[in-house]
Amino acid sequence: MEDIERIKTYLLRLQNTICSALELHETSVKFEEDAWQRPTGGGGLTRVLADGDTFEQAGVNFSHVFGDKMPAPATALRPELENCNFHALGVSLVIHPRNPYVPTAHANVRYFFAEKQNHPSVWWFGGGFDLTPYYPFEQDVVEWHQYASDACQAFGPDVYPRYKKWCDDYFYLKHRDETRGVGGLFYDDLNIWEFERCFEFMQSVGNHFCKAYLPIVQRRKNNTYGQRQREFQLYRRGRYVEFNLLYDRGTMFGLQSGGRTESILMSLPPVVNWRYHWSPEPGSPEAELYENYLKPREWINR
């Protein structure tokens, strides 16, 4: 349990750091904290900032749940873990900005530990961060991926390309034939190195999120926008909802493990629109998103 306590200490510190950094972009609103308990074991701290000048809604959640049976999403690729005792802890965040020129951002870092009688214990790490712009700027996307690469640099030259591709593949809406955004990093089931090395990697990913995202927020949060841009932002937020409810393993794990529904679904944007059979006007800024950004690309030269 010593390892779990060390990870928990880091995750709570990361939650504090990210919330404090985001609040610097607001003039009056702060994060509200809501502690919750899971009846069958564990709980968490949900922090939500709502109706800010910069962030229409931002949630930064810590959770540590445990029990005597792993939820189905965690055993889908590991059937041998059925009926294991488990601990799952992590920080997960989603930021929905007010200005359509500021991208939505998502990140999480997590750790799983499982054991059952007469079997060796197993553990693994997972996480990453990804960016979902509405009116993208190539400078922002390139810098985002440069920070993603920097987070991986000390762990080998193949790590960023591998986890960048995994991110492109994971955050893909099959029914729309498009990526959710411009990607970043995604990894799961990480135990290929010794424990300390894997823990260091999780910390590197967590610590690089604000470095990657906040410069974009600072550059774009005061951009002038109108009703057209707002309506497109709300339309594209629908894709975010579709992915989270149809494909996201974290959402499924949280709901099936008996996690707190309000904390799990805080990832959804506060306002969304859908339009029937809509497509962007050729040559428009909206079309540029579809044509140049919602497909996997190599954004940096390494």
**Confidence grade of residue 115 (pLDDT, cut at 50, 70, 90):** confident
Using one digit for the tens of pLDDT, what is the confidence trace for 226-250? 999 999 999 999 999 999 999 888 7
**DSSP for residue 180:** S
Q: Which DSSP category does 281 fall into? A: P
More confident residue, 265 or 285: 285
pTM: 0.93
Q: Mind telling me the catalytic residues? A: 106
Locate 291 and state its tokens.
Answer: 């044509």
Residue 53's contacts (CB-CB under 8 Å, 6 or more residues apart) are 25, 26, 27, 28, 29, 98
Band (pLDDT 50/70/90 cuts) for residue 293 is: very high
